[in-house]
Amino acid sequence: MLFGLLPSFVQRRIRPLSSKQQRLHPTSYLDGLRGVASFVVFMGHYTEENIGWYTEPYGMYEDGAPSSPLQLPMLRVLYSARPMVHIFFIISGYVLAYKPLKQIHSQQYSSLAGTLASSVFRRALRLFLPSIITLLIMAIAVYSGLSDDRYAGQFFQFSSQIQHWWYTSWGLLNASWAINDSSYPQPMYNPALWTIPVEFAQSLLLFTALIGLSRCLSHIRLLLLAGIMAFCFYGGHLYSVEFLGGMFIAELTLLHDAAHFTPVSSPTLLPKFIMEEKRENSDCMPTIKSRLVQAFWISNLLCGLFIASWTNNHPDEVWGIAFLNAHTPAPYDGQPVWFCFGAFQIVVACTQVSLLQRIFTTHIAQYLGSISYALYLTHNLCLTSLEPRIGPIIDLTFSKATFWGRHLSWAVGLAIYLPIIIWVADVFWRVIDTPTVKFARWLEGKCIVEKMS
C-alpha cells in the first residue's frame, strides 16, 4: 500500500519492469500541451491568491515594491490561468474528433457509428464521476476542518454536509443545460469545476456535428463547419466555436497529412487544392517558402502568447491589450473572445511547428498530460488545505512589502506546495481517474447489444 502511494515516476525508478512505457500517438503533443495548460491553471490560482500584485500590469499598481519581471508579457503566461481554459476546449474538440474523422476519410461508416455511440455513452461518466468524487473529498475536508475556511462551521452534522455535497453535485450536472448563462453559480468547494458542464454539453454538440456532416465531401464539410462556427460566434456561443474549431483543425491536419503521405498518382478522395499543394511540396528539401511558412506559424504562436498575457485588471492601461480591448467584436465584452483567438493561434501553431511538438512530447510534458485532469480537479483541494496553515508562516518569514520578499515568498510557497499537489494528482489519477475510464468501458460492454454471428 505504501508503494502504491508513491508517485508513479518514483515507482518506475524502483521497479522499472513493473510499468509499461507510454507510447506516443499522432496527437500526443496535444496531450502534452493540455498537461502544461493544466499546470498553468494551478500556477495561476496559486499566484492570484498569494501574490496578487503579479496579476497587475507591469510597472503599475505596485503598492510600494517594484514590479517583477514575471509580470512582463509572455513571461506572465506562466501563471495566466484564464486563457488555458480556452486551449482545453479547442484540444478537446480536436482529440474527440480525430478518430471519427479518420474513419470518415476511410469511409468506415459502420465503425464511425460505433465510435460515436461509445463516446456519447461514456462521456458523462468520464467527466462527472471524478468531479463528483472530488467534491465529496472536499466536502469531507471542509467538515473535518482540513480545507476551505469559507464554509467552516456551516454544518454541524455530517449528514447535512453530505446533503450539501449532493445538492452541489446535482447543480454541477444541471449546469450542462445553462452553459451560456454566466449567472449560474460556480460549484461550491471547487470553483474550477465550472468547465466540466461546458465540456459535456459541447462534446455532445461536437458528436452531433460529426455524424451530421460525416457523409459530406471534405471541402463541403469544412465549408459547412465554418458556417456553423460563424453562426455560433455571432450568436455569442464562444465555447461552441472552440470545440467545433478543434474539429476544423483536426480535419485540416488529416487532409494535410494525407496529402504528404499519399502518392500523387494513387486514387484519392482529397480535395483538389490539397493535391495541388502536395505536388508543389513533393520536394522535401527546405525552401524559402517552407521557412516563411514556419516563420508565419511561429509569429502566430508569439501573438497567441501575447494575448494570453492579458492582465486580470486594468487592460486599458497596457500597450497592445488596450487596442484589442477597445476593438472587441460584438456581442462579446473584453478578454474571453481574445483568449479564444489566441488559443486558436497557439494550438494551430503546435500542429504545424515540429519543434513545439517535440517539446510537448518530452517525458515531463507527457507526464503532465497523463495527470492533467487529476491535477485540474485536485489542485484547489490542496491549496485550500495548505495555504491557511503554511501561508502565515511564509508571510512572517518573507515580507511581501519588498521586491525580493515577494519573489522569495512566491518561490518558497511554490517549492512547498508543488510536490504535494503533484503527488495528490498522481494518486488521484491512478486511484480515481484511470479506474473511472475503465469502469465506463466495462459498463458500456455490459449494456451494449452483442453483435449477431
- Are 394 and 59 in contact, with CB atoms under 8 Å apart? no
Residue 450 placed within a domain:
no
Residue 451 placed within a domain:
no
- Write down the pLDDT at residue 152: 55
Q: Taking residues 72-100, report their average pLDDT.
A: 95
In a shared domain, residues 164 and 268:
yes
Domain boundary among 234, 255, 282: 282
Q: Which residues of 392-427 are buried (b: 16+ CB within 10 A; e: fewer)?
A: eebeeebebeeeeebbbbbeebbeebbeebbebbbb
- Write down the pLDDT at residue 1: 77
Residue 152 placed within a domain:
yes
**3-state helix vs strand vs coil in the chain, percent to 5:** 75, 0, 25
In a shared domain, residues 161 and 220:
yes
- Write down the pLDDT at residue 198: 92
Q: Taking residues 220-238, report their average pLDDT.
A: 95
Whether a cis peptide bond, with omega within 30° of 0, leads into 66 is no
The span from the CA of 206 to the CA of 240, in Å, is 8
Contacts for 128 with CB less than 8 Å, ≥ 6 apart: 172, 173, 196, 200
Residue 5 placed within a domain:
yes
- Write down the pLDDT at residue 62: 85
How does the average pLDDT of the chain come out, rounded? Answer: 87
pLDDT in tens, 425-450: 999 999 999 999 999 999 999 998 87
In a shared domain, residues 348 and 378:
no
In a shared domain, residues 13 and 36:
yes
In a shared domain, residues 234 and 295:
no
In a shared domain, residues 252 and 382:
no
- Are 29 and 356 in contact, with CB atoms under 8 Å apart? yes
Cell numbers for 418: 508543488
DSSP string, 372-422: HHHHHHHHHHHHHHHHHHHHHHHHHHS-TTSHHHHHHHHHHHHHHHHHHHH
DSSP string, 271-318: -HHHHHHHHHT---S--HHHHHHHHHHHHHHHHHHHHHT--SS-GGGS
In a shared domain, residues 270 and 377:
no
- Write down the pLDDT at residue 137: 93
Q: How many helices and strands in the chain, by DSSP H and E?
A: 18, 0
pLDDT in tens, 293-315: 899 999 999 999 999 999 988 88
The span from the CA of 288 to the CA of 286, in Å, is 7
The span from the CA of 330 to the CA of 235, in Å, is 9
Contacts for 420 with CB less than 8 Å, ≥ 6 apart: 382, 386
In a shared domain, residues 386 and 267:
no
- Write down the pLDDT at residue 273: 46
Lowest-pLDDT choice from 46-50, 63-67, 228-232, 283-287: 283-287
- Write down the pLDDT at residue 367: 94
- Write down the pLDDT at residue 266: 44
The rounded percent of the chain whose pLDDT value lies above 70 is: 88
Q: Which domain holds residue 333?
A: 287-353
- Write down the pLDDT at residue 453: 46
- Write down the pLDDT at residue 264: 42
pLDDT in tens, 163-194: 989 998 998 998 888 765 555 556 678 889 99
Confidence of residue 9 (pLDDT cuts 50, 70, 90): confident
In a shared domain, residues 37 and 171:
no
Tell me: pLDDT of 270 over 70: no
Tell me: pLDDT of 451 over 90: no
Report which of residues 220 and 142 the model is more confident about.
220
- Write down the pLDDT at residue 189: 81
Rg (CA), the chain: 23
In a shared domain, residues 18 and 163:
no
Tell me: pLDDT of 52 over 60: yes
Domain boundary among 226, 259, 282: 282
With cell 487532409, the residue in question is 255
Number of domains in the chain: 3
Confidence of residue 161 (pLDDT cuts 50, 70, 90): confident
CA distances from 257 to 105, 250, 251 (A): 12, 10, 10
Q: With 0-12 CB in 10 A as exposed, 13-18 as middle and 19+ as buried, what is 227?
A: exposed
pLDDT in tens, 93-134: 999 999 999 999 999 999 999 999 999 999 999 999 999 999
In a shared domain, residues 260 and 347:
no
In a shared domain, residues 122 and 27:
no
